[in-house]
Structure 1
């Protein structure tokens, strides 16, 4: 019997081996799976855990300051104080209020709705914070109804309860909140500050708040990211030099709990302020021109003859970029739009240049041999081209005039006659050589030179019509289809002052800049010296006893040319008052162009309207200086 029992146990044990093998294989598979997940898939689960438990907060750096050529601050940053609450700091108050409301619900036997209770709890707590602020400041601020969207989408960011506190409110609130150990905090941000308000607004430009773009050097590309509002340049210097002025973005990476509240900061890269820069504007000169400017639309540009640096850039009407903060309201935007103040008329305004263009016609005539210092015309008040009479601005005529007198008196007939003799090709070629059909090269993005027009027969053909001698007559005195910007005409005045063909303007002040003909992309004027001297003499005479007398100042020899162009606006013929000038003639330093738009027929003329602005410009520039004659 014993032997049989042994044999039975042995057989039974042999059958158990199969189970042992199965369990062993399963154990090995389990170990392999665990090893695979723990070792080979460690990176995957680690990354997944990070995505669930970490958040990234982007912090834009402050923008750099902008100074004028003399070191005056023209754009900076001012601190702005907001009363804010971080949801993380209010968690205890939220829970306490939630428990109270839930207890009331149970007492009233109301149905349970977690979302409704949570929102009500947050509303009550945040309202209590607002009440606390109002009690301290004796104000009546109200809770922003949008706070729940902030909670769900920007939970780690501070919720503004009261924006843009005054200095006194900030001081009072900061002291009281510190004593009461409140969850409300004072958050300090910066807004752009323009101490000269609307002066040079178009040249300087403005910024707008935008969600800060993530810097590729900041870690955490896969993390859920929150960002404070950054500032980005939208026009003028602010836009043109965005890369230089923009601050360096910073970031923080936080571990959060299962509710999304901050728990621990594990990485931080502080933001840095952007680079400061010095522009070429002279704010004293800018102010003198703007103060002299009538309450009309128009523009003025003054630049350094040798370097091309912009000394002043005026566009009227203007706007105050300080009013764009904390937000640009629809009312402010619409007001600027309705006044036509968004347009930088100095660089974007396209106008027929009127009689200032006669200098181009004179240069073209001298170059072609049609006009010389002793060339004369007889003006009896009009010039006939075919069956049409083209008038002179002096209906009784100027009598016999030479080149200098024609410029001094702005005689149309002289330029009609000789414009016909040389033809449109000569005039257009000279205008293009002087850069009136191409971009000036200024750094500002707001420039309409691609739309400027130097009309030719080919241009007219593209418009669907042919060229006539009447077209040549109009162009010869700066009318017809000609369209130029004040900046281009100021550059032309500077080029003429140097006896060269081009001037490259710049809004940057750079004392190390090497400026020569190569820099400007210029060539020497290809005309005899006697012809050039005759043109300049005519412009000097225009200031001393001709159409530009109102631009004269004591002790400085100025060369100028006025112009009065006609444009049709809503069926009315309005005038544009122009003047270009440079000084001192012996060694030119400053060149300028001024234009004022008329509002009623005949209410503006070059000498009478633009002349006084030019005079104040030169008076400010040469103030306190002795200029050799």
Structure 2
């Protein structure tokens, strides 16, 4: 009896042991891959370390933007024992609510990634962070960097600025993380892929309770490339000072290859204020003055008389006129009961094409417009790129608007009248273009229809090694009009020789140009344009100057100052 009981007990023990052995076999052998994968997916995380961003330099090697060592405050929400308390601690340290909330939201995808919420914390506040860090392991004082823009407002629309990657940035580029620093504007944005570098990666192993068990360095950060621009900060300063306190700006470029030498827009902004996060007072001031709007690339304003070259070209190309076409100018063009006057109601007597451009005669070009027709004027404007975005290596640009019968019917809901044709012919009415678009038009006039892409990039370097050298890009934009461009240039030269632009003359160069005055919605306030180039035989610089909402004259002084600054700098190099 006792033997039978002993036998039964032994059998039971063997069955239980066998079950354990079988279960161990299943866990260790049959399901090894499953649990290994589950452990890998659930408890291994990757943390990135931002690299040093590449520098931005001008054509002579002067530094426009660079990274400087700084202490930042970061939060790792996964390490927080009490999210509410952690947030409160961050607020006390000076973090903004929107930055903290964004950090906690982003941590759902990247739980162990330190999210920077305060950049470049002061030395006096570092001790406070260290004290908080002892009580709250989610808050970290981390060594990082901050972006510095030594030229401030002077270079703002050239460099732009950087910031944390937004939701849109993250959706656009899968390689980005919420902690990534990316370009937000101008060169920082356009050349971000060169400047950004490669982040370092650390593998973090976390146990079931959320504690970090092991950290393994996968790769170290790789510094971004240095980007050299075509900008010359000497000429940029000359243009900046010439514009003075006006609302407006300057574009100075090489018409033969599209290199931009200077790009000024006022009012401007200080890109350094975006590094730590712009305060509300500064933001309101910038909004009030539209300081973040590049008026030379984004404005949509009437071109005024600078548009007359398009009207004249259409008249010549479609044989509505010849260069010898002459009118007797009484000072106004009669349209039914209305009159379109010349500037200051002046009568110029007999006017042919050259004189019409030289003295910017409204009656002449209004007549040319009526003879040519709006559809043909529109076609020439479209061919020259005025109904599209400018061809430029820049991020913030606006499209041009050139009206015709269809446009007015669709947008305004009214029929087209002869007065609309006259207004369009002299760059008024519904014409709305940016200075950069008009720069394209005049570049084509200089180059007999060939258009060079306007560009900021000169070359990209890794230390002293050139890894990419930018080359001019061009296309035959409007070469079908090449037979008539010399006629346009003759009129622009006459404008400087004896017309309205004699003030542009200089012993340092021979220039040609066209001015423009456009009416605005403000009484007795005008947009004043001047587009010019030098030298005549071998153009190497073109300047677009703009003064917005002014009662003064065309920006001849601004343009002359910039041109002389260019040739003076060129002589100094020799």
- SS of equivalent to 1:278: strand
Cα 1:156–1:412 shift into 2, 3 Å = closer
Aligned residues of 1:82 and 1:165 also touching (Cα < 8 A): no
Give me the whole-angstrom Cα distance separating, in 2, the residues matched to 1:32 and 1:253. 35
Give me the whole-angstrom Cα distance separating, in 1, the residues matched to 2:52 and 2:289. 32
- SS of equivalent to 1:208: strand
What's the counterpart of residue 515 of structure 2? 562
1:338 counterpart (260, 284, 288): 288
What's the counterpart of residue 217 of structure 2? 267
Alignment map for 1:192-207 (pairs within 5 Å): 192-207=147-162
Cα 1:216–1:471 shift into 2, 3 Å = closer
For the pair 1:616 / 2:561, whether they are aligned, the reply is yes
**Residue 217 of structure 1: how far off its partner (Å):** 8.4
- SS of equivalent to 2:481: coil
Give TM-score scaled by structure 1 length.
0.76
**Structure 2 unmatched runs, 5+:** 132-136, 460-467
Once the two structures are superposed, residues 510-555 of structure 1 have per-residue CA deviations (whole angstroms, 9 ceiling, x without a partner) of: 5965547xx3243425254xx5434222212212332223333223
Give me the whole-angstrom Cα distance separating, in 2, the residues matched to 1:85 and 1:525. 62
For the pair 1:165 / 2:110, whether they are aligned, the reply is no
1:36 counterpart (23, 26, 32): 26
1:477 counterpart (419, 423, 426): 426
2:14 counterpart (24, 32, 37): 24
Give me the whole-angstrom Cα distance separating, in 1, the residues matched to 2:397 and 2:96. 41
**Residue 487 of structure 1: how far off its partner (Å):** 0.4
Aligned residues of 1:155 and 1:261 also touching (Cα < 8 A): no
For the pair 1:574 / 2:536, whether they are aligned, the reply is no
What's the counterpart of residue 592 of structure 1? 543
What's the counterpart of residue 459 of structure 1? 407
Aligned residues of 1:290 and 1:314 also touching (Cα < 8 A): yes
Aligned residues of 2:329 and 2:350 also touching (Cα < 8 A): yes
For the pair 1:605 / 2:553, whether they are aligned, the reply is yes
**Residue 368 of structure 1: how far off its partner (Å):** 1.9
Give me the whole-angstrom Cα distance separating, in 1, the residues matched to 2:408 and 2:477. 29
Give me the whole-angstrom Cα distance separating, in 2, the residues matched to 1:534 and 1:593. 21
Give TM-score scaled by structure 2 length.
0.83
Larger Rg: 1
In the alignment of these two chains, the number of paired residues is 543
What's the counterpart of residue 543 of structure 1? 496
Give me the whole-angstrom Cα distance separating, in 2, the residues matched to 1:49 and 1:512. 48
For the pair 1:420 / 2:370, whether they are aligned, the reply is yes
**Residue 292 of structure 1: how far off its partner (Å):** 0.5
- SS of equivalent to 1:378: strand
**Residue 567 of structure 1: how far off its partner (Å):** 1.6
**Residue 586 of structure 1: how far off its partner (Å):** 0.4
Over aligned residues, Cα RMSD in angstroms?
4.1
What's the counterpart of residue 103 of structure 1? none
Give me the whole-angstrom Cα distance separating, in 2, the residues matched to 1:298 and 1:159. 37
Aligned residues of 1:86 and 1:159 also touching (Cα < 8 A): no
Give me the whole-angstrom Cα distance separating, in 1, the residues matched to 2:260 and 2:215. 49
Cα 1:264–1:515 shift into 2, 3 Å = closer
